[in-house]
A and B are shown apart, each in its own frame.
Chain A
């Protein structure tokens, strides 16, 4: 079928996969949990929360924990003396596309016991929020902001959740989601128009310099524009701007 075989150019324009759909999850556990003390204790203490566990890439332990009590599980992993995961190396997200939940991935390491553990927390597409671990590990500050920026997952309890890599007023969505096209959601003409009409002074006004609080940006107004925007640059208001 021609529909199923997308060319590379189409993929660039449409994004690699649809975010909606029904695909089965691989929900089997593997490996012997008694080999990793933390996995064994997790199974004893939170039997309902641990969805499954696996060994990845030969020797890396991965545990899937549901989003409902993820903060409680992580608090225990940090504070329990036998676990003591004092270092949160990385917080990131994975979007598989096809309607499967977006997963938040925590890479933890205990400098005391010299053990590493990876926790993956699947966030259903309907809710897209989870609890922040900023209160446990300060390193989660920017890492969670990045996940929020690029995947659109809201971290409840984060003190300063705003975009970090993309601009504050970025209106095209969350770039690392699978349905996000590589070129962006807006047309080239629209992206150029937005860039040229940007109020540069805004970034140096006293209000903006006082950053730290999330910027109030009317995204509805921005995202409403591309409906009428044309790919033809001459049709836009580019050429009657004063600077051109």
Chain B
């Protein structure tokens, strides 16, 4: 399997001198006994309304001085009972619920959900649809990673990468808007295909983005990768071993930073990912810095994946040609009796599913996103629709990662996990 090990190219200086280089310590060592100071544990509450928690997350920390001795995360402030709502909606009506979970990479959620339903129903989507979905999922992987990059850089005091990455995100917002009419709540997929085919000129707009984006990425690399402040704040912070990372349920870049080359696109391929040429970045230390390197490399791999997908994009229909699954065109529905009946039946009844269940894991920007759908014979609504959100399990590791670190490191660890509370609370 093609995997690429990302290594520390730079080490941590003892003290930072002018221009970020190493300098001699200005403090002369002194030799006195440490005074005995009485200490007691302090409880501190961070959040739920705090920019450093990256959402409505509440962390209750027990501190010894500035050292964190335990962290208890409290979640649920954004709970919207999407899974319960899904039991009252037909298969296609659930799609708008999915992009409200991970609003930082909505197209991945749209695609993951319909992929699971299609697998349950045994629907094979067209080749064009597969490639279009790969393009959209890789585009939103960049979209999600860019937000993580900007906000994490701000947490360690670097403001410029935030502006650079949000400038690029704006370009992807425009691509979303041109494709779906919405910037965040895309709802672009339908069971058996897409809401609509790619609009005219969209691929050109995408190509333009792909031409300019690597330059910005290189600039951010230049700003952060060798930056002593960034290195000092991230190297050796929140490290986890490979075995622990698997046992604690880490997935995505967080797991790969710990040295486990598990990527759903490689290990449980879907949509012909095995035929694309890309590498999986794998870290060595499992700390915040390796997570940073892995995500930076993943964005570059995604650019290459989108280019490959664009070059192999076939023509032909984007939706399956089955009137029991795909809505007829508006013109047909208005002029042709049979199409109108199909349209009416699909809207009022929905698509019947066979009895069974289906768990479909895909590689989302944050890790393994599993969509689990359960149906009984002929159900047009799910008995159960379960989302296995990657951030939910990733966040549950934070008490282990933060123990023994400083409060400021806790902020960095939380940022490096790349959580989105929309999918954690659902």
State in angstroms the CA–CA spacing of A167 and B78 once bound together. 11
Inter-subunit contact A94/B374 (CB<8 Å): yes
Inter-subunit contact B119/A209 (CB<8 Å): no
Q: Is A96 an interface residue (CB 8 A)?
A: yes
Please tell me which stretch of B133-141, B246-254, B291-299, B314-322 contacts chain A, meaning at least 4 of its Cβ atoms lie within 8 angstroms of it.
B246-254
| A1-38 interface code vs B (CB 8 A; 1 in, 0 out) | 00000001001100010000000001000000000000
Instruction: Report chain B residues within 8 Å CB of A49.
Output: none
With both chains docked as a complex, state the minimum distance between the C-beta of A181 and any C-beta of chain B, in angstroms.
10
Inter-subunit contact B83/A176 (CB<8 Å): yes
Q: Is B267 an interface residue (CB 8 A)?
A: yes
Q: Is A107 an interface residue (CB 8 A)?
A: yes
Residue from A87, A165, A211 in contact with B426 in the complex, judged by beta carbons closer than 8 Å: A165
Inter-subunit contact B79/A96 (CB<8 Å): no
Q: Is A58 an interface residue (CB 8 A)?
A: yes
Q: Is A95 an interface residue (CB 8 A)?
A: yes
State in angstroms the CA–CA spacing of A176 and B383 once bound together. 11
Q: Is A164 an interface residue (CB 8 A)?
A: yes
State in angstroms the CA–CA spacing of A16 and B382 once bound together. 11
Instruction: Report chain B residues within 8 Å CB of A182.
Output: 84-85, 88
State in angstroms the CA–CA spacing of A165 and B82 once bound together. 12
Q: Is A210 an interface residue (CB 8 A)?
A: yes
State in angstroms the CA–CA spacing of A150 and B82 once bound together. 12
Q: Is A92 an interface residue (CB 8 A)?
A: yes
With both chains docked as a complex, state the minimum distance between the C-beta of A187 and any C-beta of chain B, in angstroms.
18
Residue from A57, A86, A210 in contact with B43 in the complex, judged by beta carbons closer than 8 Å: A210
Name which residue of chain A comes closest to B376, CB basis.
A96
Name which residue of chain A comes closest to B373, CB basis.
A57
Inter-subunit contact A16/B388 (CB<8 Å): no
Inter-subunit contact A211/B72 (CB<8 Å): yes
Inter-subunit contact A8/B88 (CB<8 Å): yes
With both chains docked as a complex, state the minimum distance between the C-beta of B255 and any C-beta of chain A, in angstroms.
9
Within 8 A of A (CB), among B375-389: 376, 383-384, 386, 388
| A183-219 interface code vs B (CB 8 A; 1 in, 0 out) | 0000000000000000000001010011110000000
Inter-subunit contact B246/A87 (CB<8 Å): yes
Instruction: Report chain A residues within 8 Å CB of B376.
Output: 96
Within 8 A of B (CB), among A74-119: 86-90, 92, 94-96, 105, 107, 109, 111, 114, 116, 118
Residue from B45, B262, B392 in contact with A209 in the complex, judged by beta carbons closer than 8 Å: B45
Q: Is A173 an interface residue (CB 8 A)?
A: no
Interface residues on B, range: 35 or more
State in angstroms the CA–CA spacing of A109 and B75 once bound together. 27
State in angstroms the CA–CA spacing of A166 and B60 once bound together. 17
Q: Is B286 an interface residue (CB 8 A)?
A: no
Q: Is B359 an interface residue (CB 8 A)?
A: yes
Instruction: Report chain B residues within 8 Å CB of A211.
Output: 60, 72, 74
Residue from A56, A116, A167, A180 in contact with B358 in the complex, judged by beta carbons closer than 8 Å: A56
With both chains docked as a complex, state the minimum distance between the C-beta of B354 and any C-beta of chain A, in angstroms.
9
Instruction: Report chain B residues within 8 Å CB of A54.
Output: 356
Inter-subunit contact B247/A139 (CB<8 Å): yes
Name which residue of chain A comes closest to B381, CB basis.
A16
Residue from B76, B262, B386 in contact with A92 in the complex, judged by beta carbons closer than 8 Å: B386
Name which residue of chain B comes closest to A90, CB basis.
B388
Instruction: Report chain A residues within 8 Å CB of B75.
Output: 164-165
Q: Is A128 an interface residue (CB 8 A)?
A: no
Instruction: Report chain A residues within 8 Å CB of B370.
Output: 89-90, 107
Within 8 A of A (CB), among B354-409: 355-361, 368, 370, 372, 374, 376, 383-384, 386, 388, 392-393, 395-397, 400
Inter-subunit contact B43/A56 (CB<8 Å): no
Within 8 A of A (CB), among B224-270: 244, 246-249, 251, 260, 262, 267-268
Q: Which residues of B contact A (CB under 8 A)?
A: 43, 45, 60, 62, 70, 72, 74-76, 79, 81, 83-85, 87-88, 119-120, 122, 244, 246-249, 251, 260, 262, 267-268, 355-361, 368, 370, 372, 374, 376, 383-384, 386, 388, 392-393, 395-397, 400, 425-426
Return the 4 tightest CB-CB contacts between A and B, nearest first: A139-B249, A57-B358, A142-B396, A90-B388
The contact sample of 5 A-B pairs, CB cut-off 8 A, is: A57-B356, A105-B372, A142-B392, A164-B75, A180-B84
**Other A-B pairs, 11, CB within 8 Å; known A54-B356, A58-B122, A210-B62:** A57-B120, A86-B246, A87-B249, A92-B372, A94-B374, A94-B384, A109-B268, A164-B75, A167-B76, A176-B83, A206-B43
